[in-house]
Structure 1
Amino acid sequence: MTGTAFSTWPAPLRAEHRVRPPRAVSVAFTGLVAALLCGVGEALTYVAVQLDSPNADVGSLTTGLAVRGGIYLAVLAVAIRMAHGARWARIVLTIGIGIVGLASLIIEPAAATLSAKAIGDLFDNLSPSAVISGILRTGHILAVLVAIPAMYHPTARRYFRAGRSS
């Protein structure tokens, strides 16, 4: 598909020209996939809880899932490009996931913590779905905190500087 939007995808390399990414890049890619899976799990948990409500807005929930799904697919595509050595993908992931995405994950729990009068208030009305969401969000944050620094490990920097694919 040359001459289309899909022409930016790397052409398959012959076996003798393939270069395996360093371990740090593989760790970064695995961390990003783990973060995406945690995000999907958290979104599905939220939707399940909302659908249990008698006045659930199915249209709004469907739209929200579609938007989130689109974002997750875009992040996965960029992560794949990063794993193939695209420097621009590493920068996009650093800004999008490492700064904006991480901030969006941390703001809500930080605001709740800061607005609580006592630490015990944070655990009032704690439901199983809230615990599941909290575990998934923690996993999401930890995966991002592993992935982003791994993309800047010295072996990863050499890999990206070699200009594998743009």
Structure 2
Amino acid sequence: MKKDAVPHEVFQSFLLWMIAIGAGIFEMTVAVIDYISTHAGSEIGGILIHIATRSMLFAALVYIMFRMLRGKNWARIALALLLGGIGLLSLTIDPIQWLMSGNSLWEAFAHADNISILFASSRVLHIIAVISALVFMFKPAANRYFKAGL
């Protein structure tokens, strides 16, 4: 396999990781808007630090995604562990705990406002993108590409 020829599966994984990052940025923005609107701008310094920290993290992850696209197996492993493992856990732990506490999805839908609908919709897209990116990243053609890149 030519080094320059990125398999369809790897490119699809890359696009799905970008969608996941985009969803993460959107969710952060929605959460910040919601927080500011309900707290009248208090603790703006903490919010700015949070935004800066997450922005640096997103930038580092995008760098790793581009390395993965170029066939670097270390980047594929890093994405699998960081976004596919820790990231997916962070996306799902709160909803799982919330459901295990006896809360009802039907109640949540009945009392949902625009912010929570936007956030939840993005979160579902985010989770689907992460799982799909993982699947594409480890398909046989992708495995051959990363093996050739060693």
TM class by smaller structure = over 0.9
Which residue identity lines up with residue 18 of structure 2 in the other structure? V
Higher relative contact order structure (alpha carbons within 8 Å, sequence separation ≥ 6): 2
For 1:87 and 1:119, how far apart are their aligned partners in 2? 40
Q: 1:122: which partner in 2?
A: 108
For residues 114 and 124 of structure 1, do their structure 2 counterparts lie closer, same or farther at Cα, with a shift above 3 Å needed?
farther
* Aligned counterpart for 1:30 among listed residues 7, 15, 21: 15
Percent pairwise identity: 28
Residue-pair matches, total: 148
CA offsets per residue over residues 45-81 of structure 1, 9 Å max, x none? Answer: 0111111122532111111111111111111000000
Moved more, 124-133 or 67-76: 124-133
The runs of at least 4 consecutive aligned structure 1 residues that moved more than 6 Å come to none
For residues 92 and 48 of structure 1, do their structure 2 counterparts lie closer, same or farther at Cα, with a shift above 3 Å needed?
same
SS in 2 for 1:52: helix
Q: CA contact under 8 A between 1:102 and 1:144: conserved in structure 2?
A: yes
* Aligned counterpart for 1:160 among listed residues 133, 146, 150: 146
Q: Which has the higher helix share?
A: 2
Q: CA contact under 8 A between 2:3 and 2:149: conserved in structure 1?
A: no
Query: What does residue range 8-157 of structure 1 map to in structure 2 within 5 Å?
Result: 19-53=4-38, 54=40, 56-123=42-109, 125-157=111-143
RMSD: 1.6
Which residue identity lines up with residue 138 of structure 1 in the other structure? V
For residues 84 and 103 of structure 1, do their structure 2 counterparts lie closer, same or farther at Cα, with a shift above 3 Å needed?
same
Larger Rg over CA atoms: 1
Normalised by the length of structure 1, the TM-score is: 0.84
Which residue identity lines up with residue 50 of structure 1 in the other structure? Y
